[in-house]
Amino acid sequence: MARPCQARILCSGLRHNVGVVRQRAPSARIMACVKADGYGHGATTVATSISDLVDGFAVACIEEALELRDHGIGGPVLLLEGPQSADEIGLAAEHQLTLCLSSPHQLQWLTDADLQTPVSCWLKIDTGMHRLGFAPEVVADTFERLQALRCVTGTPVLCSHFARADSPEDPANNTQEACFDRTVAGLDAAHSLANSAAILTRPDSHRAWVRPGYMLYGGSPFTHRDSVSLGLRPAMELSTAVIGIRDVAEGQAVGYGGRWVAPRASRIATLAVGYGDGYPRHAPDGTPVLIEGSAAPLAGRVSMDMITVDVTDIPAVQVGSRAVLWGSEPDVDTIAQLSGTIGYELLAGMPSRTPRIKESP
């Protein structure tokens, strides 16, 4: 018998969410972000599920890019952080990866590279996030230098990243976009600015390429709007089974530290899922778990391999009952908010112990 905890990867949800991106940004090409193992869903699983619907894939590092190529993913694969050593440039050219250059030292590596095949590049501009990117003052010169290199093929796409797109009203978004437009004025190139939040709220930022990540997986990038209201569907359902049931008397404490104390005679179900499976250790008492069609409240601290849930009011629960930790109901954003984090962290942090079961449409 296998451990009952598993994450079903819902290809129909992924494909539906690409459709939402297309609807919102009908003229843009889609660079789907599958870094951090496809936000925990399995990069190859995600890429093969949507490769016919998108125009390329973005990853954080060369290892992630090569994993896609090893699994037969063709077309553009963008290294968002660019090369991390001079050696990676040859490897990127060999595998036809696109380098996003954001620092002078990366430009120098490229200038010094003796490549057999030329490489495609994007050029990242620091418009105010101050994490990666060339300063606006040096962009025109850098763009020209890049274009003059024999080892660079095509015209570099000019790109930047919003620091606060998840707060659409924040004036810093306009400031960044205005800085971008000033910087690229007169340079003949395609543009890319929008992550999920900008795709959903800033149509002017869509430009030639959008770069959706979290929304592809069905999460809302906003704290004030849920994914259903954005028309998104979950791409993962994390579920497990009840492995034990016990009755506790009023006043008895349950789990590590005795955090939850029964306010009445209660029935407690123990489930095979814990922080070792990706469920957040900081989930508070009351966090909903869907069992036998009803929301049961978490009762007691999350352990590495188990949680305890108050099922007093759900008499149908028995050993073997399936329970949903996140999926449609509750959704991952709800669990994340209750636990003081964001759904991005929960999904990207899913450990390998939890099997991903691909469910085709």
| List of residues contacting ligand PLP (CB under 6 A) | 33, 80, 161, 195-197, 211-215, 221
User: Is 268 in contact with 299 (CB distance < 8 Å)?
Assistant: yes
Compare residues 215 and 283 and give the one whose CB is closer to ligand PLP. Answer: 215
Q: Which of residues 59 and 299 has its CB atom nearest to ligand PLP in the complex?
A: 59
Q: How far is the CB of 15 from ligand PLP (least distance, A)?
A: 17
Catalytic residue positions, numbered: 35, 256
Q: What is the SS3 string spanning 192-247?
A: ECCCHHHHHHCHHHCCCEECCCHHHHCCCCCCCCCCHHHCCCCCEEEEEEEEEEEE
How near is the Cβ of 87 to ligand PLP at its closest, in Å? Answer: 23
Q: Of all residues in this chain, which one has the CB nearest to ligand PLP in the complex?
A: 213
Distance CA 77, CA 147 (A): 20
Closest to ligand PLP by CB, 101 or 197: 197
Q: Per the structure block, which two tokens stand in for 344? A: 């991005």
CB 247 → ligand PLP: shortest distance, Å?
A: 44
C-alpha dist (Å) from residue 357 to 4, 7, 235: 12, 6, 11
Pick 11 or 78: Cβ nearer ligand PLP: 78
Nearer to ligand PLP, 82 or 327 (CB): 82
**CA nearest to 40, candidates 64, 73, 15:** 64
Contact criterion met (CB below 8 Å) for 43 and 235: no
Least separation in angstroms between CB 128 and ligand PLP: 14
The closest of 301, 284, 261, 258 to 337, measured between CA atoms, is 284
For the chain, helix, strand, coil in percent to 5 are 30, 25, 45
Least separation, in Å, of the C-beta of 156 and ligand PLP? 15
